[in-house]
Structure 1
Amino acid sequence: MKIVVIGGTGLIGSRLVTNLSEHGHEAVAAAPSTGVNALTGEGLADVVAGASVVVDVSNSPSFEDGPVMEFFETSTRNLLAAEAAAGVGHHVALSVVGADQLPDSGYLRAKTAQHKLIESSSIPFTIVQATQFFEFVRGIADTGTEDGTFRVAPVSFQPIAGEDVSRLVGRAAVAAPANGRVEIGGPERFPMDEFFRTALAAWNDQREVVTDPHARYFGTELSERSLVPGDDATLGEIRYRDWQGRS
């Protein structure tokens, strides 16, 4: 089965292409570096020709409100149009747990707009909503740090390894379309402030971690369950401590 992976050279996409290929599929990595640009439409018609499934794990190069909305809306419209013309039978998109519950975040507003476009299209689909990746933990801390202090809300946090994300997105790609959303998360749940206090200590990072219920996360305040999946979520296998030890 031909499966095109948009964003197929990135963190998740490259692993996904490898996993699918190892299972006997014709997995095609599509990205600007391979001559395919979903934002401009360049190369889309050719790459999706003959594809049974298109998996979109691409991400915006900018998280600023205007550019990120433009990226997800335009690239998704272009992808869906190319897939409809080619007769693609399954569109899979990687998104974020809780995206539509946090409208103060420009990035998550853009992901919600992406969801709506996919759900209103004629193409069978699966939206895989993941919790935060282990690989982004340091970046979250960096983004939230001001004057040497990282303020973080004491809410639940359930990050997942990128390796697990790739495996579970691959599983969704070869399954029948859910025509809905499925959630994935890590195998462990932590208080977010305690998690980052422990993580920074393991990096010998001297930043102070301050518990603040009103701390903003990429522009939005969080509730207790904003960042964690529901009880029916599929969980990854890799624990953060084990991943950190390998990394």
Structure 2
Amino acid sequence: MRIAIAGATGLVGRSLASRARQSGHTVVELSRSSGVDLRSGPVPDLTGVDAVIDVTNSSSMEQHEATTFFTSVAETLGRAATAAGIRRTVVLSIIGVDRTPEDGYFVAKLAHEHAVSEHAPGVRILRAAQFHDFADQMLGWVRDGSTATIPDWPVQPVDVDEVARLLLELATREEGSELSEVAGPRPERLPDMVARVDPSVAVTDGPVSDAIAGGALLAGPGTTIAGDGFADWLARSR
């Protein structure tokens, strides 16, 4: 198959593009580095493409900016895919975006889902738990010298490569659910994850919403459980 990947140079996009090529597919990279700006540029020509996978990510966590980014990308990709007669669009989202209205970025991702469903053909949505890498990302965002205040999120982290595997399956197989979820095998506390990523940092638990504290970001019934737990991933990555 010929598969277009929006966000092909990001964390998920790189893993996805590599896996697709190893499986014998032709990858069309849609990213600014390849000359395609899905937010403000012209609609890309997707003639000959069989499926589109959207793993784009907003550089802003602020609700309005992130919503504008995601909905613009969804509309641009949807118009291009429809014009090219593409049958399948797959988009990556996050577990719990429909249960966390107090978090601006999650609200933006839910708007992303809605915009893709409105504009794109043959939509399948994969909601993933936070990646194992998220602890290191969070530390980079909030670290203050040798200390860091980390929101006390219960999460069920998953390996990026497993997410890429499922995205590719959703794009290439005939049968599939319109909405599916994937998470890792074990729940973790985000502050504990950060402390294990860098034991030199003094971690303080930060505030968390009632929805997230109640497990909105954890696997629910029907969630696909995939890959290694955080401890195994961390040992392997080191």
| Alpha-carbon distance in 2 for matches of 1:137, 1:202 | 7
Structure 1 contact 90–123 (Cα < 8 Å) conserved: yes
Q: What residue number does 2:208 align with?
A: 216
| Alpha-carbon distance in 2 for matches of 1:226, 1:102 | 7
| Alpha-carbon distance in 2 for matches of 1:197, 1:24 | 40
- The SS at the match of 2:134 is helix
| Alpha-carbon distance in 1 for matches of 2:80, 2:44 | 6
Is the aligned partner of 1:240 residue 2:238?
A: no
| Alpha-carbon distance in 1 for matches of 2:50, 2:196 | 46
* TM-score between both structures, scaled by the size of structure 1: 0.86
Structure 2 contact 95–217 (Cα < 8 Å) conserved: yes
What do the CA deviations read for 1:189-208 (whole angstroms, capped 9, x no partner)?
Answer: 23x1xx53364145223313
Structure 2 contact 52–89 (Cα < 8 Å) conserved: yes
1:193-208 matched pairs, under 5 angstroms = 196-197=191-192, 199-201=194-196, 203-208=198-203
Q: What residue number does 2:126 align with?
A: 128
**Residue type of the partner of 2:11?**
L
| Alpha-carbon distance in 2 for matches of 1:228, 1:87 | 36
Structure 1 contact 41–75 (Cα < 8 Å) conserved: no
More divergent stretch after superposition (28-37 vs 114-123): 114-123
Aligned length: 236
Q: What residue number does 1:152 align with?
A: 151
What do the CA deviations read for 1:224-245 (whole angstroms, capped 9, x no partner)?
Answer: 2211121211122122112111
| Alpha-carbon distance in 2 for matches of 1:165, 1:118 | 19
| Alpha-carbon distance in 1 for matches of 2:168, 2:197 | 32
| Alpha-carbon distance in 2 for matches of 1:38, 1:177 | 28
In structure 2, runs of 5+ residues without a counterpart are: none
| Alpha-carbon distance in 1 for matches of 2:48, 2:10 | 23
1:176-187 matched pairs, under 5 angstroms = 176=174, 178=176, 180-187=178-185
**How far is the alpha carbon of 1:140 from its aligned partner?**
2.5
Structure 1 contact 52–90 (Cα < 8 Å) conserved: yes
Structure 1 vs Structure 2 CA RMSD: 2.3
Structure 1 contact 72–114 (Cα < 8 Å) conserved: yes
1:84–1:202 CA distance, 2 compared to 1 (3 A): closer
Q: What residue number does 1:8 align with?
A: 8
- The SS at the match of 2:57 is coil
Structure 1 contact 95–130 (Cα < 8 Å) conserved: yes
Q: What residue number does 1:109 align with?
A: 107
1:25-64 matched pairs, under 5 angstroms = 25-42=25-42, 44-46=43-45, 48-64=46-62
**Residue type of the partner of 2:192?**
R
**Residue type of the partner of 2:22?**
E
Structure 1 contact 7–30 (Cα < 8 Å) conserved: yes
Structure 1 contact 90–177 (Cα < 8 Å) conserved: no
**How far is the alpha carbon of 1:20 from its aligned partner?**
0.9
More divergent stretch after superposition (166-175 vs 30-39): 166-175
**How far is the alpha carbon of 1:144 from its aligned partner?**
5.5
Structure 2 contact 50–87 (Cα < 8 Å) conserved: yes
| Alpha-carbon distance in 1 for matches of 2:105, 2:133 | 18
